[in-house]
Amino acid sequence: METPLHPWNSRAARASVVHGSLRLIYQQFFDRCDRWSAALQRLGVRPGDRVAYVAPNTHAQLESFYAVPQVGAVTVPINHRLTADD
């Protein structure tokens, strides 16, 4: 059975992001994304800008996929396994 992922359903109080010992419910996850968006704006990121991001597949990478578009910018994920020759 497929259940749509929606943060405002009855599962909202359950862990939505788990990475090692880090467990975040939706509200905590979205608060982190909001703080990241605010930091990007303080750094001068504006709508239409591109934000390149090099990271492994972690909660921080997931947060970037929410935080950057909140500013109106575009996320440009870069594979952290690329070598200089790539």
Placement of tokens 């239409």 in the chain: 48
- What's residue 9's pLDDT? 53
Low-confidence ranges of the chain (pLDDT < 70): 1-13, 15
- What's residue 26's pLDDT? 87
- What's residue 17's pLDDT? 83
The torsion of the CA quartet 25, 26, 30, 31, rounded to 10 degrees, works out to -40
Q: Does domain 15-79 have CATH number 3.30.390.30?
A: no
The torsion of the CA quartet 40, 41, 46, 50, rounded to 10 degrees, works out to 0
- What's residue 73's pLDDT? 97
